[in-house]
Structures are given as structure tokens and as C-alpha cells.
């Protein structure tokens, strides 16, 4: 095991016996070794999973329900044993695998802090030294001396997270537990996770939120039906995950094979950010910014990371940005208004169609978008052979940099509303720098900063 790796999984597999009837479990116990297998069927929760996690890395784990995520985390934490293969873990683990795991419902919050802290490797004196910090972070106040069976789900997770982050872990494992807290507490938790990352703690993070995974994680892995389908940059993995979950059922088996063939063995170091050169900037043969700060069209700038969902009777074509006068551009000026437009060709009839768009950063962070459904009468029905044009007007209030655009169309086929077609990274654009810009961050909210001299002295 390399000194730079804290987790190494090699051909990791986990199988569970599934019994059709309770009596079969008893019959299996008393059967001869050659006949034990006839009383159960084997369910493979994990199938030959191999990966490594470096010290200080944040790894996102995504997948549909039942894909094997929680089983993998339990094996890493040591609460489950593997059936085949091996797992090597170095360092103290603090885990939030499920709500209230490790808490005795009859004990008070105070007693559970000491119990859980001891289980995680602290001495009683160390727990006592950190106790006030734990209670302060959890925000449960006087309830600390009440039995935890009287706690709300939010109080449970607050206290559990407060203990986990105060044991000074080498590895922090979070399995979607933070979704229980309110928004303010979630932000507090994510800020603390960021502090732990910066101090060199390795984080394993399971979430169904694509934005959180892309913002928080260095790499991600995609699990499905117990198999590792993709590993690499979060944006790459999330795009394949979304493509899989939105695919029609008859395409999913084939799509799983395609994703696995495409992505397995690609490490984050070998993946350039989509649409960017090796230096991490606009790269390639992109034309320099216009010295006069005018918008323009760079024919060499186009996304190399486009992912199309399986179409169901529609095709999005010619996604582009235009000026109000109709000129095609992809180098934009801050403060000006542009039109993002694309056409949709229909190969079958559909009802209640609505189109959408989304602007994202290079790392995949979703900044904002819109749909045509907001306008009265914007949902229309179409026939086979029809073509519609979607147009979205937006003011460029973004900081200098490169951004990507999604395009999608929803419609009703029978009783179900489905994506008729969807393109991730359908188009890209660059925003020119503006030396006079006072705004900070990605988006200029047109804040009016002002300093006023009051004439008062202390």
C-alpha cells in the first residue's frame, strides 16, 4: 500500500444469501456442505471493485438506490466483511453511515457523545476536553441531557455529525446524512468539511446532489448494480450517471456497458477539463480576446464533453449563442444581453413540450437556467416532422472565464413526462475580462458598493 494512499480496494466483492422462506435459513444451517447452497440464492452487492483513495482526497460516490454505495462504505468502515478481494485502510475513520448509527436511544445525548467518541478511538479525557465544542456545533442546547429517543431526526444528525468531526479523523465518511439538517446547518457542515479537507483529512462523500459532488469532490466513482462503471473527474462521472438514470429501461443494460468501457481506468490526472487545454485555461487554438472588448465568434472553441441522453422522439440541433441582432457569438462581453437558442426536430408526436437551458462552470457547478414553461401558453403539442425553436434571453453578468450550456426538452408520451432529448455541454462560451469590474465571485449581482464618511470619531 503506497504511503500516499489511505484506502486501497482490490477486487472487492460482497455477496449476501437471500432466503425465500425463514425455514430455509434453518435448513441451510443443518445441511451438508455440498447442499447448503440449495436453500438460498446469492445476491452480489459488490462485484470486483478496485480503486485507490489518496491522503487528503475527497472522493464522491454516486449511484442509484441499491447500487452498492452503502455496502462499500460499511466494508471500508469495518462494519461489514468482504466476501472476496481485499480492502486496506490506514487511519482513524469517523463515519456517518446512517441516521443515529452507534447511538443508544435510551442514553442521553451527553452519554451518547462519550459512548460514540470512545467507539471512534478517543479516551474519556479527550471526549471531555472536546465536549463543549461538540455541543456548541450541534446546536441542541439543553436537550443534551435528554434521551436521544426523544430527539427529532435533525437533532440526531446534528449531534452525530458534531461528534464525528471533533474526533480529528484521518478519514471522514458521510453517507447522505446531511440532507436531514436545515439549510443553515447544512452550510455549516459543508464549511467544516472544507476545513477538514484543507487540513489533509480524506473524505468519502455519498450524495445524490450532482452540484455538491462536483463542487466538493476531487474525483468521483459511479456504482450501478454492484459494479464500478466510471471513475474520474466529477463532471465526467456525474454526466454519465445522469445519462444512465434518465435512459429508458430497454437501453440501460447496453448503456452500462458503454459507460464502463469508456470510463474505467481513466484517472483524474489523465482527464483534461472539458473544452480546456492542458494548461487548464481556454487552451487549444482559441482566438485571443478582442482588444476593444467586443463580442466575437471563435470557430475553434467548442465543447469536447457533450453528452446526449437517449432521445425519445426528438433531436436538439444547432445550439448556439447569438447577439440581439442575430450574429453568432461565443466570446461575450460582461453586461450585455444575448440569446441562447436551439432547434428541436420531432420524429414522433408529443404533448405539453417545454424546453430548458442551464449555465454551468468548468467544474460543472450549476449557476442558473430557465425553462419555457414559465410563460403562459408556452407548453405546446407537436406532430411528427414538426420543428420548434427555443430562445432564451440572458444578461451576461458572469466573471471572466469559460462556461458551458445544457439544452433539454421535456414532453408527455402518454401519461408520462420524459426527456425527449437532452444535451449536456451542448455549447460553451468565454466571457471577456472587464478591468473595471468590482463584483466578486462567478455572478455579478449588480451590487452598488459605497463608502460614506460620517464625520464621527471615536
Nearest Cα to Cα of residue 317 among 392, 419, 387: 387
pLDDT tens per residue across span 413-443: 888 889 999 999 999 999 998 888 888 889 9
Residue partners of 195: CB distance under 8 A and separation at least 6: none
**Tens of pLDDT, residue by residue, the chain (458 residues):** 556 899 999 999 999 888 888 877 777 777 777 776 677 788 899 999 999 999 999 999 999 988 999 899 999 988 899 999 999 999 889 887 765 566 888 999 999 999 988 888 888 999 999 999 999 988 888 899 999 999 887 888 888 888 888 888 899 998 876 665 666 777 778 878 888 888 999 999 998 878 788 888 999 999 999 999 999 999 889 989 988 888 888 888 999 999 988 876 544 443 433 333 333 333 333 334 444 458 999 988 888 888 899 899 999 999 999 999 999 999 999 999 999 999 999 999 999 999 999 999 887 888 999 999 755 556 789 999 999 999 999 999 999 989 999 999 999 888 888 999 999 999 999 999 888 888 888 998 888 888 888 876 65
Which tens digits make up the pLDDT trace of 110-139?
999 999 888 888 889 999 999 999 999 888
Count the residues in the chain: 458
pLDDT of residue 290: 44
pTM: 0.73
> Looking at residue 332, what is its pLDDT?
96
Main-chain phi, psi angles of 42, to 5 degrees? -95, 125
In terms of Cα–Cα distance, which of 110, 159, 108, 109 is closest to 137?
A: 159
Q: What are phi and psi of 198, to 5 degrees?
A: -65, -25
Tell me how far apart the alpha carbons of residues 27 and 39 are, in angstroms, rounded to a whole number.
7
The answer for 166, left when phi > 0, alpha when psi is -120 to 50, beta otherwise, is alpha
Burial class for 451, CB neighbours closer than 10 Å (0-12, 13-18, 19+) = exposed
Gap between the Cα atoms of 175 and 172, Å rounded: 10
Q: Which three cell numbers stand for residue 294?
A: 467586443
> Can you tell me which residue has the cell 475580462?
433
Residue 334's closest CA among 443, 235, 425, 256?
Answer: 443
CB-based contact 80:74 (threshold 8 Å): yes
Answer yes or no: are the C-beta atoms of 413 and 350 closer than 8 Å.
yes
| CATH architecture of structural domain 307-431 | Distorted Sandwich (2.70)
Measured distance CA(224)–CA(204) in Å, rounded: 17
Show me where the domains of the chain are located.
Answer: 5-91+170-270, 307-431
pLDDT, residue 283, reads 36
What are the tens digits of pLDDT across the range 238-280?
989 988 888 888 888 999 999 988 876 544 443 433 333 333 3
CATH code of the domain made up of 5-91+170-270 = 3.40.50.300
- At 443, is the secondary structure helix, strand, or coil? strand
Angstrom distance (rounded) from CA 83 to CA 68: 14
Amino acid at each position: 500500500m503506497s504511503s500516499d494512499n489511505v484506502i486501497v480496494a482490490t477486487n472487492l466483492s460482497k455477496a449476501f444469501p437471500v432466503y425465500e422462506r425463514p425455514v430455509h435459513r434453518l435448513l441451510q444451517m443443518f445441511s451438508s456442505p455440498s447442499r447448503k447452497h440449495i436453500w438460498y440464492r446469492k445476491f452480489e452487492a459488490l462485484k470486483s471493485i478496485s480503486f485507490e483513495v489518496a491522503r487528503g482526497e475527497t472522493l464522491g460516490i454516486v449511484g442509484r438506490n441499491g447500487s452498492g454505495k452503502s455496502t462499500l462504505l460499511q466494508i471500508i468502515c469495518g462494519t461489514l466483511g468482504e466476501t472476496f478481494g481485499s480492502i486496506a485502510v490506514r487511519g482513524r475513520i469517523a463515519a456517518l453511515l446512517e441516521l443515529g448509527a452507534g447511538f443508544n436511544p435510551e442514553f442521553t445525548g451527553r452519554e451518547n457523545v462519550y459512548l460514540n467518541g470512545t467507539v471512534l478511538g478517543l479516551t474519556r479525557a479527550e471526549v471531555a476536553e472536546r465536549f463543549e465544542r461538540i455541543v456548541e456545533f450541534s446546536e441542541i442546547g439543553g436537550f443534551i441531557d435528554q434521551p436521544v429517543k426523544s430527539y427529532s431526526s435533525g437533532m440526531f444528525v446534528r449531534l452525530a455529525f458534531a461528534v464525528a468531526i471533533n474526533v480529528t479523523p484521518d478519514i471522514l465518511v458521510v453517507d447522505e446524512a446531511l440532507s436531514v439538517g436545515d439549510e443553515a446547518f447544512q452550510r455549516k457542515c459543508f464549511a467544516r468539511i472544507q476545513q477538514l479537507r484543507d487540513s489533509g483529512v480524506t473524505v468519502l462523500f455519498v450524495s445524490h446532489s450532482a452540484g455538491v459532488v462536483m463542487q466538493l469532490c476531487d474525483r468521483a466513482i459511479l456504482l450501478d448494480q454492484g459494479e464500478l462503471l466510471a471513475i474520474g473527474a466529477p463532471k465526467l462521472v456525474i454526466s454519465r450517471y445522469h445519462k444512465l438514470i434518465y435512459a429508458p429501461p430497454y437501453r440501460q443494460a447496453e448503456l452500462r456497458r458503454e459507460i464502463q468501457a469508456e470510463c474505467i481506468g481513466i484517472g483524474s490526472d489523465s482527464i483534461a477539463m472539458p473544452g480546456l487545454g492542458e494548461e487548464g485555461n481556454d487552451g487549444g487554438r482559441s482566438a485571443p480576446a478582442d482588444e476593444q472588448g467586443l463580442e466575437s465568434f471563435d470557430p475553434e472553441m467548442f465543447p469536447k464533453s457533450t453528452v446526449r441522453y437517449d432521445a425519445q422522439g426528438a433531436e436538439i440541433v444547432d445550439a448556439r449563442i447569438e447577439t440581439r441582432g442575430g450574429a453568432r457569438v461565443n466570446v461575450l462581453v460582461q453586461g450585455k444581453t444575448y440569446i441562447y437558442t436551439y432547434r428541436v426536430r420531432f420524429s414522433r408526436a408529443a404533448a405539453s413540450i417545454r424546453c430548458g437551458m442551464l449555465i454551468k462552470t468548468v467544474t460543472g457547478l450549476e449557476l442558473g437556467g430557465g425553462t419555457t414553461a414559465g410563460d403562459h401558453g408556452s407548453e405546446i403539442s407537436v406532430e411528427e416532422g414538426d420543428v420548434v425553436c427555443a430562445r432564451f434571453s440572458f444578461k451576461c453578468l458572469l466573471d471572466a472565464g469559460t462556461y458551458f450550456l445544457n439544452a433539454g426538452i421535456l414532453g408527455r408520451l402518454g401519461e408520462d413526462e420524459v426527456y425527449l432529448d437532452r444535451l449536456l455541454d451542448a455549447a460553451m462560451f468565454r466571457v471577456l475580462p472587464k478591468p473595471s469590474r468590482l463584483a466578486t465571485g462567478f455572478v455579478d449581482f449588480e451590487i452598488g458598493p459605497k463608502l460614506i464618511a460620517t464625520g464621527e470619531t471615536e
